[in-house]
Chain A
């Protein structure tokens, strides 16, 4: 045994007292999980407080004796609560998703699909229109002055007011169902794409444009080989906004039109018949859809950025 080992004894070589470490996948998400936890607590407290009078009223009407615990249990298990408790929402959601065949009008999957298809068509139409507008504006400077104010004005009009007009007008010329909803969704989502792409298409350096000129490139070549690739980061930033608001657009379009199917129709039917749990479940479905759509867009963005060799 060397002298230093003797001096330090075993303590140096003994394993350090192991501190507990959370698994990485939890540690990375700890901040957002904390917020979720706080929200759930707030939600439960709100559910208890908001439903209290409702439940107390029911007990008193039936002349039943009740304790505070009964009261609290009642607030979290009401059939038509003012504020549904989180577990009620989740249970209703699971029930509506899994306990009916996907083509049943009671299934949330069915309604989600109806809204999602309108969202997709609207998103594609809106994006295409937004890019087209941006290309026109960048190439014809007069259009920037003449079109841009109208594009901005178009977004100041409350869509809830315009939607019925569009549905009625399109219905009069025989267009019903998916397309009118998609058009309303496209009406909302072309805006961020157009604004983002005007910026993106004008983002190349003056030198990069001068180079194209020295090679006597055609305007189409400049667009295709310089302006469009340069605008890709701007496009994806816009698409993330566009995909969520095209979902909102599709849901809103279902509200004033008396649609029979779709998440918007479920929201409306739920509020007609006081089915709060159904409303909450539909809201949860809409939120999940939005999260998935943004996730897919983010994934596509990372793929494109990698393909284009951008600095990670």
Chain B
């Protein structure tokens, strides 16, 4: 238990020290519509619509086909995981959505516009595997950085930083510098930073990959709660089958050389999930199907 929380006896009891979502019912501003208002996927607008997307990298020893004719539709409000072995193009696909890479062929729309336009309009928040906090800024000023860049007034910046640091259970750490926080806390700060400008779409590139399993389990639960509360669209890259099955409404199985989509698996557990569902037969069945998909893509060949 962090020392500070022992002193602040008036705060609500925390679900876990590594919790991502602060379990307060008194959140004065609802961030977006709750799960009640969600419609079936086919009636929701598309957050991502990729048609025949290919990407070829030029390297010193020839061309590498990172993505080959990828077709993918992600409905707004979905939680979609990309899973596959390294080199299958899952991160590349995420970077194409974020306009950090440009496809060599095919078209892609993000929230109905080009990725470039979506980026300029700040439609999405990107979370990397490393927290990548700026070491010379305090946690609070790190969370406020995108807001500074977007020209949001100082008062509003401060209010939003407080709100989203509370959401990821980091109240009281505003004035700490990144190196004073654990890896899990730093990653939560980086999630608060991505949430601070309230994008409708969250792109997460193995955000918990560098954390130990105990911390990762907690953050998974809390991320799910956050997604459920805010109704955001989440695109989540992972190489862990249990993580993908536990979190997603849709699992995209990918395979390397060339990077392509093998299977898209619907994952229709109730939105309120606990870690215990990982022992149910339904969970194992979907995990098995993901494994089959990976095998058919020769992911286990080496």
Known contacts: A213-B100, A215-B150, A229-B134. The answer to whether A207 contacts B119 by CB under 8 A is: no
Q: Does B146 contact A (CB under 8 A)?
A: yes
Q: Please tell me if the beta carbons of B177 and A214 are within 8 angstroms of each other in the complex.
A: no
Given the interface pairs A308-B136, A309-B136, A311-B179, the reply to whether A207 lies near B128 with Cβ below 8 Å is yes
Tell me if A226 is interfacial: C-beta within 8 Å of chain B.
yes
B124 at the interface (CB under 8 A from A): yes
Q: Is B138 an interface residue (CB 8 A)?
A: yes
A216–B128 touching, CB < 8 Å: no
Smallest CB–CB gap between A222 and chain B, Å? Answer: 9
Q: How far is the CA of A311 from the CA of B181 in the complex (A)?
A: 12
Report how many residues on chain A are interfacial, defined by Cβ distance under 8 Å: 21
CB of A237, distance to nearest CB on chain B (Å): 16
Q: How far is the CB of B178 from chain A (nearest CB, A)?
A: 8
The answer, yes or no, to whether B282 is at the interface (CB within 8 Å) is no
Q: Contacts A211-B128, A214-B126, A216-B120; is A310 near B148 (CB within 8 Å)?
A: no
Interface of B is mostly: loop
A:171-229 near B, CB below 8 Å: 205, 207-208, 210-217, 221, 225-226, 229
Chain B minimum-CB-distance residue to A226: B134
Decide if A309 touches B119 in the complex (CB within 8 Å). no
User: Which chain B residues border A232 with CB–CB below 8 Å?
Assistant: 136
A226 to B134, CA, bound (A): 8
Residues of B within 8 A of A215 (CB): 122, 145-146, 149-150, 197
Select the residue from A210, A215, A310 with max chain B CB neighbours within 10 A: A215
Decide yes or no whether B210 CB sits under 8 A from chain A. Answer: no
Are A205 and B132 in contact (CB-based, < 8 A)?
yes
Interface centre among A212, A214, A310, by most B CB within 10 Å?
A214
**Total interface residues on B, using CB and 8 Å?**
25
**Does B98 have its Cβ within 8 Å of any Cβ on chain A?**
yes
CB distance from A289 to the nearest CB of B (A): 32
Q: C-beta contact mask, A40-78 vs B, less than 8 Å → 1, else 0?
A: 000000000000000000000000000000000000000
Which A218-247 residues have C-beta < 8 A from chain B? Answer: 221, 225-226, 229-230, 232
Q: Pick from B122, B145, B197 the residue with the most CB of A within 10 Å.
A: B145
- The answer, yes or no, to whether B62 is at the interface (CB within 8 Å) is no
Chain B residue numbers with a CB within 8 Å of A221 are: 149
Tell me which residues across on chain A come within 8 A of B153, comparing CB atoms. none
Q: Is the CB of B119 within 8 A of A216?
A: yes
Contact between B138 and A211 (Cβ–Cβ < 8 Å)? no
Which listed residue, B100, B138, B148, B179, touches A214 by the CB 8 Å rule? B100
Q: Assess whether A225 is in contact with B145, with CB atoms less than 8 Å apart.
A: yes
CB distance from A136 to the nearest CB of B (A): 23
Chain A residues near B177 (CB-CB < 8 A): 309, 311
B98 close to A214 (CB less than 8 A): yes
**8 Å CB contacts to A: which residues of B94-127?**
98-100, 119-120, 122, 124-126
Assembly CA distance A229 to B146 (angstroms): 16
B46 proximal to A (CB < 8 A): no
Is A211 in contact with B126, judged by CB distance below 8 angstroms?
Answer: yes
Whether the Cβ atoms of B119 and A214 lie closer than 8 Å is: yes
Q: Separation in Å of the B232 CB from the closest CB of chain A?
A: 15
Set of chain B residues within 8 Å of A216, measured between Cβ atoms: 119-120, 122
Looking at the assembled complex, report how far the CB atom of A154 sits from the nearest CB atom of chain B, in whole angstroms: 32
Give the distance in Å from the alpha carbon of A205 to the alpha carbon of B149 in the complex: 19
Using a CB-CB cutoff of 8 Å, which residues 68-101 of chain B contact chain A?
98-100
Name 20 A/B residue pairs within 8 A (Cβ), A-sorted.
A205-B130, A207-B130, A207-B132, A208-B132, A211-B128, A212-B149, A213-B99, A213-B100, A213-B119, A215-B145, A215-B150, A226-B134, A229-B134, A230-B136, A232-B136, A309-B135, A309-B137, A309-B138, A311-B177, A311-B179
Q: Which residues of A contact B (CB under 8 A)?
A: 205, 207-208, 210-217, 221, 225-226, 229-230, 232, 308-311
Q: Which 4 residue pairs spanning A and B have beta carbons closest together?
A: A309-B177, A308-B136, A207-B132, A214-B126
